[in-house]
Chain A
Amino acid sequence: MTPLDAIMAALKALRLNMLRSILTALGIIIGVAAVIIMVAIGAGAEARVEMIIRSMGANLMIILPGSSNTAGVRQGRGSRPTISEDDAAAIRSEIPSVHSAAPSIRGQAQFIYGNLNWQTQIFGATRDYLDAREWPVARGRAFTDDEIRTGAKVVLLGKSVVDSLFGEIEPIGQTIRLDRVPFEVTGILQQKGQSPFGFDQDDTAIVPLVTARQRLLGGRWLSGRTVGSIHVKFRNPESMEAGERQLRELMRQRNRLRPNQEDNFQIRNLSQIVESRAETTRVMTILLASVASVSLLVGGIGIMNIMLVSVTERTREIGLRMAIGAESGDIRRQFLIEAVTLSLIGGLIGIGLGIGGSHLVADLAEWPVLIEIDSVLVAFGFAAVVGVFFGFYPAHKASRLDPIEALRYE
């Protein structure tokens, strides 16, 4: 009996009981489909988080004014500016693992070009800001040192602003009005897409910090060197933990806080936020994995059950096969191959269902899904292992039958 004979015999036996075979394989089908869908969802979520990190800038922390735990209660977040351009300079010079520290302020402005107008946010920032947020200028050029120092009326536009104001017209070199002040468009920022919090990061414009202070945002930003946030980019992910401590230490020192006073600034670690999301995804994946393993277990028990039934039903056949020369190993192999074939067929159907289901989740729930070939192979492998494990006992039982008793079985 070659393995091919055994596989053909197994397929034949399974075909004779088509409906029963499929019902038996249901547990495996569901288990495998669950594995594939869950991995697809997990991988999709992880890929999205990854993309978000990329879009925000890697190795990034943001320093904001105000204390985090009393925000909105005692002080209102950002109500009393406590961070400044000088803090940024100090961070840059005193913490070696910092690659750049970019102060920025933010506000709203009315954009006018021709007869079109558009209301959106603008940032006053330096070139470091583009670096920290890994936000290159796609076309045109960034600000020169001169423009930054003197507060030139130049602006970098986000993709969405360009789309809504210029359409087909080439924006670079054009003059637009921001709150009635004419600005020259020097460049267009690379498209970034949605932020982790769901808004369009391309619906924005950047002007030099000094310009924003003096010509656009005015108000509380007008005097002094206070800023709304400082983006701190570290040289590598490993330095971030120590870096955060050093940042806090430095900022407390610069604000002359006594040990019993709480921070009047907050440090947001984006990697941490993202990490905790990844953690949530992992927990979810583990949860779904347990569902999948329960299905596979139930499927395996189903296979064991049906194989035991099959061995009993085919006792005479087993006796006959033994009488004409089948060794124990031949019989065991035959039933084992049958069990594995059954579970692999279930696995194949499960793979089809899993891939279809993943697409359905993507379409209906609009979740990002990513089907990984590894998960398909692992799921298929699991199905095979389940077949071998749960098929072994019935197959062994069949192989130990006494030929005479088996032949006499009614």
Chain B
Amino acid sequence: MAANCAIVRVEGLARNYTVGPQVVHALVGVSIEIARGDFVAVMGPSGSGKSTFMNLLGCLDSPSGGQYDLDGEDVSRMSRDKLAATRNRKVGFVFQQFNLLPRMSALANVELPLAYARVPRRERHRRAARALDAVGLSDRAHHQPSQLSGGQQQRVAIARALVNDPMLLLADEPTGALDTRTGEEIMELFVALNRRGITVIVVTHELEVAQYARRILRFRDGELIADEEVEGRRLVHGANAAEAPS
């Protein structure tokens, strides 16, 4: 794919849920392009369809209607297993609840996507260690999630999202479970990663968090109602030298 072509292209994207006799229109006809290397914040009231949108972008879900091209590939009609492979190779997820596997070391958690990518064991160790290093946690590699603070757990989750060199990093309220200071650190990490060329899309309720992005998408009732540039983008002070894995 040409480097300047949009990494995400959605056209009339829709997602309906049928609950009993009722049809919920979680997303109605969303069309948008997101350029490679962009940093996008997604905002909107609760129930406006942000998570639904993110799940579709992340190939966790298939749309009820419309078209979605990820990296120039039509993913809207892919089989389950093709979607899984696409998630593995192209997308990194960061969740509000971290979703680390308990009783597994940070390193083992980070290695997991590589195991599904059938990367040999030694190589896995090497790359996972490097990803942990990139989020500043090499000294916690053998800690279990329960032995880490929330911010550290989220960093491990970010390392896991990064380890297989995704082109798209999706974070659904990554700072929602963290205090303001820790949330800022996480956002600064995203900024650093974005500078290395990864496209980042973050869902958030807080404008301060959204202001780390270049662009804000606003949703309401399943519709994309605004798409605006961020003015006065937040300065990254710490910029703690996140080394994105190459």
Contacts and interface: CB of A to CB of B under 8 A. Distances in A.
B113 A2 contact: no
A329 B160 CA distance: 22
Given A2-B118, A326-B84, A327-B85, A321 B112 contact: yes
A1 B120 CA distance: 10
A302 B158 CA distance: 39
B93 interface: yes
B113 A324 contact: yes
B15 to A, nearest CB: 11
B101 A1 contact: no
A326 to B, nearest CB: 5
A323 B81 contact: no
Contact of B116 (A16, A316, A325, A403): A325
A330 B101 contact: no
A321 B103 CA distance: 15
A328 B58 CA distance: 17
B115 A1 contact: yes
B149 interface: no
B95 interface: yes
A407 B84 contact: no
Contacts of B148: none
Interface string A58-75: 000000000000000000
B114 to A, nearest CB: 9
A317 interface: yes
B55 A325 contact: no
B99 A320 contact: yes
A322 B84 contact: yes
A204 to B, nearest CB: 73
Given A1-B116, A317-B101, A324 B60 contact: no
B118 A324 contact: no
A181 interface: no
Given A16-B103, A404-B55, A404-B60, A325 B95 contact: no
Given A323-B87, A404-B55, A328 B99 contact: no
Interface string B83-102: 01101110001010001010
Contacts of A241: none
B125 to A, nearest CB: 13
B61 to A, nearest CB: 6
A404 B87 contact: no
A146 interface: no
Nearest to A15: B103
Interface in A1-47: 1-2, 5, 12, 16
Interface residues of A, number: 21
Contacts of B160: 324
Nearest to A323: B93
B99 A325 contact: no
B80 interface: yes
B5 interface: no
Contacts of B101: 317, 320
Contacts, number: 60
Contacts of A324: 87-88, 93, 112-113, 116, 160
Interface residues of B, number: 26
Given A317-B101, A321-B112, A329 B89 contact: no
Contacts of A404: 55, 60-61
Nearest to A331: B84
Contacts of A322: 60, 84, 87
Contacts of B58: 323
A16 to B, nearest CB: 6
A325 B84 contact: yes
Contact of A325 (B61, B85, B121): B85
Contacts of A321: 112, 116
Nearest to A403: B60
Contacts of A326: 84, 116
A407 B99 contact: yes
Interface string A301-345: 000000000000000110011111111111000000000000000
B87 A325 contact: yes
Given A323-B58, A325-B84, A325-B87, A330 B116 contact: yes
- Pick from A5, A322, A324, A330 the residue with the most CB of B within 10 Å: A324
A386 B117 CA distance: 31
- Return the 5 tightest CB-CB contacts between A and B, nearest first: A325-B88, A325-B116, A324-B113, A327-B84, A327-B81
Interface of A: 1-2, 5, 12, 16, 316-317, 320-330, 403-404, 407
20 contacts: A1-B116, A2-B115, A2-B121, A12-B104, A16-B103, A316-B99, A322-B60, A323-B87, A323-B99, A324-B160, A325-B84, A325-B87, A325-B88, A328-B84, A329-B81, A404-B55, A404-B61, A407-B60, A407-B95, A407-B99
Given A322-B84, A325-B88, 19 more contacts: A1-B118, A320-B101, A321-B116, A323-B60, A323-B99, A324-B93, A324-B113, A324-B116, A324-B160, A325-B84, A325-B85, A325-B89, A325-B117, A326-B116, A327-B80, A327-B81, A328-B81, A407-B60, A407-B99
